[in-house]
Structures are given as structure tokens and as C-alpha cells.
Amino acid sequence: MSEKLQVRIAAAKVGKYATPESGDTLEMVERPHGGLSLALADGQRSGRAAKKISNIVVRKVVSLLAEGVRDGAAARAAHDYLFLHRGGQVSAELNIVSIDLVSRTLVVSRNSHCPVLMIKNDHLSLLNEPSEPIGVYRNTKPSITELPLEPETYLIVFTDGILEAGRRTGNRLEMTTLAPELLAATDGNPQALADALLKKAMTADKGRPCDDISVLVVAVTSGGESDKTRRMSVSFPIR
């Protein structure tokens, strides 16, 4: 009998300072054969123009995943669509994280210069194989990593607002040391971890983010609710 596991997902995001809208888009979709997929896209530049790009990309990805298309094929299709309709003049960075209950794996697809951090049993590793943004180069493919669905595994996905945080002040974040420290400080709570990372980035930018910032945390832990209930909670401000 397989070990009972629980998946917890959390995100925190904020737009660039003095822009009306974040150019990052995050969506979740249920996989037809069990599990969930999350698509996080960062449109070129920032504001409404970037939001339009990231929305196009994410809508294409989640619609295909919902139909049973594999993650890598969905990422390539989103690239082809953006490349065709924008003539290779517009780019987007794309991350897809899937909890696949058929293969009992975590699947990470990257078209981004930002690494994905994996912390497993207090050991940190980087998923940082070279990959290109979608929409610009004709034969772009994602970098795909498949990981066993095992307890005490944390994936931290972020857009380049995290990498750029503190650039103006000379106080950039060192994520390879910061993430494990905050994971321990938040007792492994995914939402608290995402919030803490976002807060650190905001502090590094003195409260005025120089780019859109999104942080996504996917945690696989032991145990789980005995009533088999799935839960989701969302909070966002209304201006």
C-alpha cells in the first residue's frame, strides 16, 4: 500500500511598482486522469501589455492540459501559438508544475532563465538546465524534470522579479540560502513561505518592486486529511 501523502500549494504575487496590473499570470487546472497542473507565465515587459501576453500563454497551456495533452507538448504548443500570432517579436517565460497521480510524479517544465528550487529532506538542489523563453525562437522546447512524488519535497517557482529584487539597492536575494532558512522559519507552511519570500523581495526593493514578482510553492508532505476533502483558498485585494 502506498504511503498517504498530502499536496499543499500556495502562491504570492505583486505587480511592478506604479503599474496598474501585474504581467504575471498563474492558473491551476485539474488533470483529466488525476492530479493538478499549475502554469505560471511572465509576459515580456510589465503592465497590461505583459498581462495580455501571459494570459494568452496560460490559457493555451491549461486548455491543452485539461484535454490530457502532456506538459511538454502543451508548452511547445503555447510557444508555437505565440510565435505564430506575434511573429517572433514577443516573448514569455513559462513554468508548468504538475502533480501527476497516474505516474505519481512531480513534473516540472521550464522555459525560463529562473531556476526552480527543490528542497527535499533539508537538501536543496536547483533545476536550472538552460532553457529559452517561448515565442521568439522557432524550435524552442521546454526543459523537463520528472521527480518521484515523495514526502518532504518542496518546489519553489518564481518569476524574475525575485532575481531582480534589490538590483537598484545592491541588496539582491541569495535564494539558495534564503529559501531553506525561510522554510525552516515557517515550519514548512507553503503559504507562509511564499509570503516570506515575497516580503524579502519587497524589502530588497524598498517597497517599490522593480518588476512583477510571483512566488509559487508546491509541497508534498506525509499524512493528509482522512476525509479526502480537497480545499482551496484565495485572497486578493480590490482597488
Look up residue 33 and give its three cell numbers. 486522469
117 inside domain: yes
233 domain-assigned: no
Answer yes or no: is pLDDT of 154 > 90.
Answer: yes
Q: How many domains is the chain partitioned into structurally?
A: 1
In this structure, is residue 239 part of a structural domain?
A: no
Give first-to-last CA distance, the chain, whole Å: 50
Indicate whether 135 belongs to any domain. Answer: yes
Among the listed residues 95, 91, 37, 89, the one whose alpha carbon sits nearest the alpha carbon of residue 66: 37
Domain boundaries, position 30 = 5-222
Q: How far is CA 73 from CA 44, 103, 140, 195, in A?
A: 22, 17, 11, 32
Question: Is 68 inside any structural domain?
Answer: yes
Reported pTM? 0.96
In a domain, 237, yes or no: no
pLDDT tens column, 97-152: 999 999 999 999 999 999 999 999 999 999 999 999 999 999 999 999 999 999 99
Q: Is 136 part of any domain?
A: yes
* Residue 197 is assigned to a structural domain of this protein: yes
CATH number at residue 212: 3.60.40.10
